[in-house]
Structure 1
Amino acid sequence: MGKGFVISKAVGIVLIVVGAAAVATIIALSVVYSQEKSKNNEVKPTTTTTTSAAPTTAASNEPWDQWRLPQTLSPQSYNVTLWPRLQPDETGLYIFTGMSSVIFKCVEETDLILIHSNKLNISETVLTAHGSNPAPSIDSIMMYTKTQYMAIHLKGKLTAGESYELYTKFVGELADDLGGFYRSEYEENGVKKVVATTQMQATDARKAFPCFDEPAMKAVFHITLLHDRGTVALSNGAVKDKVNITEDGALLTKTTFEPTEVMSTYLLAFIVSDFDYIEQIDEKLQIRIYARQEAIKAGQGEYALNVTGPILRFFEDYYRVPYPLPKSDQIALPDFNAGAMENWGLITYRETALLYDNEISSNANKERIVTVIAHELAHQWFGNLVTIRWWNDLWLNEGFASYVEYLGADEAESKWNIKDLIVLNDVHRVFAIDALASSHPLSSKEEDIQRPEQISEVFDTISYSKGASVLRMLSDFLTETVFTQGLQTYLDHFKFDNTVYTDLWVHLQAAVDKTTHDLPKTVQEIMDRWVLQMGFPVVTINTATGQITQEHFLLDPTTKPDTHQSLTMSGLYQLDGQRQEQKNPQNGYYRKLIKKMTGKQMQMSGFWPTSMSQDTTGLTMIMKTGNAYLVFSRHPQSIPVINRAQIIDDAFNLAKAGHIETTLALRTTLFLSEETEYMPWESALDNLDYFYLMFDRTELYSPMQAYLGKQVKPLFEHFTDLTGWTDVPLGHTDQYNQVNALRVACSTGLKNCTDLVNGWFQQWMNNPDVNPIKANLRSVAYCSAIAAGGEEEWNFAWEMFQKTNVATEKDKLRAAMACATQPWILNRYLSYTLNATLIRKQDATSTIISIASNVVGQSLAWDFVRANWEYIFNQYGGGSFSFSNLVNGVTK
């Protein structure tokens, strides 16, 4: 999720529009409820109360004006029954009706019950006591839309230590907003179908039923779903009972699920669909993959099914804790805003993150699927079994899963050497973000993360990628053995409970203390410097004198963070000031550090760029002119692949920040004409993208294209000789570099490349039933051919986009259509993003970003976003990474 921003006049107008829409929705739901009230007689409450909307008042210190729940009540268990309607009513509205009972314990005497409720029309509320004394009667009920509370004011007080039960009956809209209990629509065999599904993280369980919607408010959940006969109901627990019933003339199935383990509300899931599934029994554990019937029939769930068991078993061994549930369901949804969600026992995915077609999906699609599955399965323990107390520590949850996803994926695909790719995907990626003065620490104070929009903002690259990078660094520094030992005792000690991030440091320290490992400081002292401070240091090692210097690395050194704290490289040496020095590093650690920095054993485990110098001016030795540089340029194979990639990335980062000359960084690309490995090429291309952004509308563009074309031509010829462009290289990263060769060769105008891909695309247009383009190469080929073509090529791609039922193929075509070079075509395409029947809501922002990435489309996308700001902010302003990515994408 994105950074905060100042509320403008336009946003203010949006909020007014949203408020009016909310009132209209409430009125509509009230009408629907009046119809449903007489129908649903499953529970007959003894008391009915009137719920009122709270008046708008200035901020106060009243509990209902605070964003956090008071600690007066503690939920124990819920019993929730929901009935989603998969057909609209006569007004076109999709709804769900429900009833919920929550048993809670009174911790402190109070005459107020505060419980989260958002966009629900609550009609009946009953409070009963589970002890010998009756519950106080309800005085009034007020709804606070700002803080999303239902406040129940009592005529007497609840007694500390006693348990009570709160029953509510309600109706809500099964909207297409991708949050809470929502609907997803798709077409299969010409028939429109609807799925009722959920996305609760972080604060949307309250849109499905009234609940204490904070991660520390764990409870047991008893879920029952009423659904049309012929549909399938799923939830976190296994199916306990399933019976056919008739309810108000409707033929339904009532599915009751086994109670969950003690868990947080954000991990709840319940789904009604007519999906099919495939399954596997792995040592008594039931593993199932659910998806559209067409997708299952086509075998698109097979890969996910095959890798899930090995990954689960790996994490059982890694954590030394058995998987705590009897089943693991995973489901691919046509509409899903995030990539995936780790709901305990029922993981939800975008189709592109779970479904793989052997003929159509690419090698990159396969890697994404196995890493996303590993990420979500890692959460089943780290996040679900043991949960952060509050969202300010999200980085620990997501950063950890983002690190160990590579370990789990490596277990499933051991020949890929996938663990090295964390350097490109996470370490290098987040350097560019964390080197800005607008970055932020990994962990914030609880009081700084309160409102739902603030919670959304912590779901960002810092939490995921920097979190992964520093945890990987810690694991490497402590050794993986010590790291996992501490992790295992942490999970065992806090299972079914909540923690703060320092609890992990305590257990890691205990594991360290059992060894002879000599740390210069405690785990917490070391890690506080990475967790509580933004940014990272640039470390300069003078290999002649052994002198180490460091300073806060900023891409723009003239900017200063608002709350700058000097960085001291994880506390490995304690020094003060903007620039610190360790003049005589004589101990074993420093010798080991320098060896790792300069030798073949270095695996880029530290979270900092390094400048190695022979003098205090700090030019990197390996990039220096003279013999040292010639070793690098003429004999690149003498340096390990991961180090070649690191040298390039460090050089460009140092150049951007003014530590070295830009020409010196550019020299690291001279050896690319002899390079055939993926990681150095990808590192170079990622960094050269910045120059394309700066120069693609200037006179420098032509010589830049000529230079890169010269460097890539040998790589293109290498893969021409190796594969003839009809075969796929055997190596995982070799397949990626084949794609790079084709992409860069075509984008720089190499005639052999453009003739090749244009020929492929024309063959496909001549015979749409047979696509001659290899799956790995389709993204590049589609983009290149559409860019070189006109309306005919674009319309053909659009036709194929609408025709295919393979999500990964849709994604490739959707991105490629943004490569068009005719402004009117791009403007038409932009307009499609406002129509969910043409471009799904989940794909709207990424489509706009793709158009903005095209030099022809950049200004068009910028104008489009400004012209449609109110609609776009209303639809995507609070969701996942989509809105922050949009703002970044149309402005960079």
Structure 2
Amino acid sequence: MAKESGISKILAGTFVFLTISVIAGIVTMIIFYKTEIALMDPTPRPMFTSSTTSLPPVIRLPKNLVPQSYQVVNVTSPNQTMLFTGNSTVTFHCVQGTSVVYLHSRNLDVSGPVVMNKDTNERIGVSSMKNEEDTRNFLEIQLNAALEAGGNYSLFLAFNGEITENLNGVFVSTYAQGSPAFLAATNLEPADARTVFPCFDEPEMKAVFHVTIIHRRDTVALGNADMRGEIHSNILDDVWKVTYFYPTPKMSTYLFAFTVSEFTDSNVLCALCYRCVLPTQTYARPDAIAAGHAKYAANITGKILKFYENYFGINYEQKTLDQIALPDLGVGAMENWGLITYQEGGLLYEDGVSSLLHKEVIATLIAHELAHQWFGNLVTMKWWNDIWLNEGFATYLSFFAVAHMEPYSKMKDSYFMSNLHAAFEVDALASSHPLSPPQEDVQMTFEIEDMFDAITYCKVQSNETRNEYIYDVGVCMYLSDFSYKNTDQNDLWEYIQKAEDEDGGHTTVAKVMNTWTKQMGYPVITINTTNGEVYQKQFLFNDSSESSLWWYIPIRVMSNAAEPSLVWLESIKKDEFIAKSGEWILANVNCAGYYRVNYNRENWERLSTQLETDPHRIPLMNRGQLVDDAFNLARAKLIEVTLALNSTRFLQNERALLPWESTVRNLEYFVLMFDRSEVYGPMQACGMKASFCLHSQILAIDVACSNALPECSAMATKMFANWMDNNRTNRIHPNLRSVIYCQAVAAGGAKEWEFAWDKFQSSIDTSEKDQLREALSCTKKIWLLNRYLKYTLNPEKIRLMDVGSTILSIADNVAGQALAWNFIRAHWEYVSNGGAASLIEGVTRRFSTQFELEELERFAADNNLSPTKYLQQAVEQTQVNIVWVSENKDSVLKWFENETAS
């Protein structure tokens, strides 16, 4: 419900101008029919089950009405009022007779319902209308006559709502453009379309949208489809513009989008394959467009679209594609069909200021969102339990698109490993979830939001079970046959099975794949090369958890005497994995399987010897994965922690970046567990030594400075001081700025911090602002960190979308972790708007004592936090940390002391 009871005179006048004839009809023509309710065959009202039962509440809409199209009129002027107003007419087909219409509405003042029989052009009386103020958000409209099965009907509703500041629904954003300028934008996934207009807000209820936006004359309205026309309307003060859009393709409500702003566009025409030129326009702040910051994004968009069109054999379905860089957005980007929204840092790139890594991030993010135009927009999951059909494929395909554009880039392997390990980390907890859980497990909004995690985005990319050719053929047939429709994972398996059968294969696709998607977690394969024994079990950090899960597992295996070959675990012969004298065996070649591998100690030692003498005999991906497997097996107490640490000794001769990235990432866990204890001293000393072996300049500086190497701190301080002395020119290379800024602020005091803060406030470059914002959290001065935390409560200093990441950066700093934990508890209501899940997960990463566990549990109870998976995972990870630290602290200390002494 909107906070204000009325709307401004200007908006009221506009609204009356558009709907006066309809309002008059409501006044004169509403008739209450006297038909007995018993004769209407009403659809039973969806009800919550009794709290005494174990069944979940019914919060899904009934399937008796199927929407066909919406006509939506919205009046928005964020620079004048924080309210929007409008009306909508939804046309729907009745498949089962009912006297009640249910649809979704939340925080809207809804009025003036008019129900029409489209087949007879007769009006149907409305006896009552009420909005359920609970988690269902049902708008219930009782009718005086039953809708008949097979009939077509329409429902008109007038509404007004609040333009929010919390980055969901219709929200307001401000930016500096001489004087403060305002814009309005939408962000509706997963369940906020109902806050913009009354609708059937479930992904399976697709419809065509006819949209009209009424806005100030000096602004531009963008929507899901190409603009059909504009008129200027002489209403009250002669400043209104009416923008009409062409009908959208049939799509889900969560993809509905519009923006109203004074932004300008790059106006780049991208020539696509085998058809006419498609205009793709990239919008941003006028100063960013004028400076050319949108050129890179605008230029690569057409190339990526062309790649996907060729890959899928299906054209992009819209006549235009707009992308807009928003100063505020609660997610990194959103794939709204025809109007993709991005945080500014995800779209704007400045030569000479932005780093090469930032360029790669932009390319990958655009590729991800463009992949959604097929996976998610054209073909959509039936329900949110299968959101991986959207997000998993978009992540997986983005690597191929970017690699196609930059064939010499090594980022594909690095991103692949990074995503694989992100999924591994979460999926090793007993509080994880299947890639495709049952629908009944994903009902409440917080349960839906929980699905947007590393498992959904990253787990699908690694799977040795698929034949790439068969997989691609099946996926393309799937996209073609289900265009504009909804699917679940069974549909995907069916089409891959068709491709498998046509190719003469014998694999039962669903039988194999369901063990990977319907079960949580993943296996660890244990291979004993002495007796040939091979077995699987679920990999869990918590060794007290029991599991009987079982997977179909293909194992690609090689040795120093044999090239790679593929075998299925259940088909392995008894002596197939017995190593000959001096022979080592390596499984999961190139890390194509979503599992870990453990060996007997002799095989681990032979692999380590091979790495130290001739590492290139082991594939690059496996050189990184062997380190990752060893460290995580040690965390799960399946091997000794010293064996994992010993696995890093080959790195002194390793020149590839990937194994180093894997090692640094895994040692981060040791830092989190021990940087407040006596273990950290010898650990830092080893870190100093390791930095001299690194062949990546950025990583070497980061490792060296993080481990207090005096020369590194002196270098960073000097480079930063030179910038401070001549701040018109930043001589620090763009690729080095993030690490130099952080280390200089960490080594400095108030002077350096204040300089970085002033630069952060004055910079108009998004990449520069992001690097400075993170660097400000690196200071070791407690009072400065406290000041910075307080700044996050002021949106004029730290934007709401940056609150969560800023607090997490402070929590990553050992000097700021306790401060951040106390701060979020004191200001939870505000800071949780920036991402409650990530805050809990990030701020508790160091928790490893019983006292910290009890504090976490008390915090959850005091704030009545929903039992989200993120909260469960934070509790479980803390429990695992407590046990692991108590059992391994002495061994780790001794190993680092010996290593330092040697």
Query: Normalised by the shorter chain, which TM-score bucket?
Result: 0.7 to 0.9
Deviations 1:308-331 (A, max 9, x none): 112111111111111111112111
- Give the aligned residue type for 2:549: S
- Give the aligned residue type for 1:70: P
Are residues 1:415 and 2:394 paired?
no
Q: Out of 816, 830, 844, which is 2:789 matched to?
A: 830
C-alpha distance in 2 between matches for 1:887 and 1:152: 45
CA change 1:74–1:707 in 2 (3 A) is same
Which residue is equivalent to 1:699? 678
Q: Out of 73, 84, 91, which is 1:81 matched to?
A: 73
C-alpha distance in 1 between matches for 2:190 and 2:510: 28
Instruction: Give the match's secondary structure for 1:247.
Output: coil
The 8 Å contact of residues 554 and 593 in structure 2, kept in 1 or not, is answered as: no
Deviations 1:5-57 (A, max 9, x none): xxxxxxxxxxxxxxxxx6xx44x13465998278622122211599xxxxxx9
- Give the aligned residue type for 2:62: P
Are residues 1:149 and 2:105 paired?
no
Q: Out of 348, 355, 366, which is 2:348 matched to?
A: 355
C-alpha distance in 2 between matches for 1:187 and 1:451: 38
Which residue is equivalent to 1:41? 17
Q: Out of 367, 370, 378, which is 1:374 matched to?
A: 367
Deviations 1:596-634 (A, max 9, x none): x9569922110011123xxxxx2272x31xx65333123
Q: Out of 284, 291, 305, which is 1:291 matched to?
A: 284
CA change 1:885–1:181 in 2 (3 A) is farther
Are residues 1:550 and 2:536 paired?
yes
Q: Out of 703, 707, 720, which is 1:748 matched to?
A: 707
Instruction: Give the match's secondary structure for 1:76.
Output: strand
Instruction: Give the match's secondary structure for 1:464.
Output: helix
Give the superposition deviation at 1:66. Answer: 3.6
Instruction: Give the match's secondary structure for 1:87.
Output: coil
Describe how 1:402-481 pairs up with structure 2 within 5 A: 402-469=395-462, 473=463, 476-481=464-469
Give the superposition deviation at 1:550. Answer: 1.3
C-alpha distance in 2 between matches for 1:589 and 1:373: 46
The 8 Å contact of residues 80 and 98 in structure 1, kept in 2 or not, is answered as: yes
C-alpha distance in 1 between matches for 2:767 and 2:313: 35
The 8 Å contact of residues 817 and 843 in structure 2, kept in 1 or not, is answered as: no
The 8 Å contact of residues 478 and 512 in structure 1, kept in 2 or not, is answered as: no
C-alpha distance in 2 between matches for 1:434 and 1:540: 18
Q: Out of 511, 518, 523, which is 1:532 matched to?
A: 518
C-alpha distance in 2 between matches for 1:356 and 1:366: 7
Q: Out of 169, 174, 195, which is 2:158 matched to?
A: 169
Which residue is equivalent to 2:758? 799
Describe how 1:49-198 pairs up with structure 2 within 5 A: 59=48, 66-89=58-81, 94-132=82-120, 134-146=122-134, 147-189=136-178, 191-198=179-186
The 8 Å contact of residues 548 and 583 in structure 1, kept in 2 or not, is answered as: no
C-alpha distance in 2 between matches for 1:35 and 1:233: 17
C-alpha distance in 2 between matches for 1:325 and 1:393: 25
Which residue is equivalent to 1:566? 549
C-alpha distance in 1 between matches for 2:570 and 2:138: 59
Identity, % of aligned positions: 41
- Give the aligned residue type for 1:766: D
C-alpha distance in 1 between matches for 2:159 and 2:716: 57
C-alpha distance in 2 between matches for 1:568 and 1:505: 17
Q: Out of 191, 216, 223, which is 1:203 matched to?
A: 191
CA change 1:455–1:345 in 2 (3 A) is same
Query: For structure 2, which runs of at least 5 residues remain unmatched after alignment?
Result: 32-45, 557-567, 579-583, 848-877, 879-902
Describe how 1:611-650 pairs up with structure 2 within 5 A: 611-612=598-599, 618-619=600-601, 621=603, 623-624=604-605, 628-650=607-629
Are residues 1:604 and 2:591 paired?
yes
The 8 Å contact of residues 691 and 701 in structure 2, kept in 1 or not, is answered as: no
- Give the aligned residue type for 2:616: Q
C-alpha distance in 1 between matches for 2:369 and 2:737: 28
- Give the aligned residue type for 2:319: P
- Give the aligned residue type for 1:161: G
CA change 1:628–1:501 in 2 (3 A) is closer
Instruction: Give the match's secondary structure for 1:603.
Output: helix
The 8 Å contact of residues 688 and 709 in structure 2, kept in 1 or not, is answered as: yes
C-alpha distance in 1 between matches for 2:459 and 2:844: 19
Give the superposition deviation at 1:280. Answer: 1.8
Which residue is equivalent to 1:9? none
C-alpha distance in 2 between matches for 1:192 and 1:420: 43
The 8 Å contact of residues 846 and 886 in structure 1, kept in 2 or not, is answered as: no
Which residue is equivalent to 2:377? 384
- TM-score, normalization: structure 2? 0.85
Instruction: Give the match's secondary structure for 1:165.
Output: strand
Q: Out of 473, 478, 481, which is 1:485 matched to?
A: 473
Give the superposition deviation at 1:640. Answer: 2.6
C-alpha distance in 2 between matches for 1:37 and 1:149: 30
Which residue is equivalent to 1:683? 662
Give the superposition deviation at 1:569. Answer: 4.0
Describe how 1:257-272 pairs up with structure 2 within 5 A: 257-272=245-260
Give the superposition deviation at 1:400. Answer: 1.2
RMSD: 2.7
- Give the aligned residue type for 1:540: T
C-alpha distance in 2 between matches for 1:868 and 1:34: 37
Instruction: Give the match's secondary structure for 1:29.
Output: coil
Report 1 or 2 for greater relative contact order, CA contacts < 8 Å, sequence distance ≥ 6: 1
Give the superposition deviation at 1:86. Answer: 2.2
- The count of residues paired between Structure 1 and Structure 2 equals 804
Give the superposition deviation at 1:835. Answer: 1.1
Q: Out of 476, 479, 484, which is 1:496 matched to?
A: 484
Which residue is equivalent to 1:10? none
- Give the aligned residue type for 2:712: C
Deviations 1:167-204 (A, max 9, x none): 11111111111111111111123x11111111111001
C-alpha distance in 2 between matches for 1:634 and 1:774: 36
C-alpha distance in 1 between matches for 2:834 and 2:786: 20
- Give the aligned residue type for 2:156: Y
C-alpha distance in 1 between matches for 2:574 and 2:311: 33
C-alpha distance in 1 between matches for 2:290 and 2:262: 13
Q: Out of 213, 231, 254, which is 1:243 matched to?
A: 231
The 8 Å contact of residues 129 and 140 in structure 2, kept in 1 or not, is answered as: yes
- Give the aligned residue type for 2:468: E
The 8 Å contact of residues 111 and 153 in structure 1, kept in 2 or not, is answered as: yes
- Give the aligned residue type for 1:305: A
Are residues 1:655 and 2:634 paired?
yes
Deviations 1:207-226 (A, max 9, x none): 11111111011000001111
Instruction: Give the match's secondary structure for 2:26.
Output: coil
- Give the aligned residue type for 2:17: N
The 8 Å contact of residues 39 and 248 in structure 1, kept in 2 or not, is answered as: no
CA change 1:712–1:401 in 2 (3 A) is same
The 8 Å contact of residues 529 and 577 in structure 2, kept in 1 or not, is answered as: no
Which residue is equivalent to 2:830? 871
Q: Out of 479, 489, 503, which is 1:515 matched to?
A: 503
CA change 1:199–1:883 in 2 (3 A) is farther
- Give the aligned residue type for 1:306: N
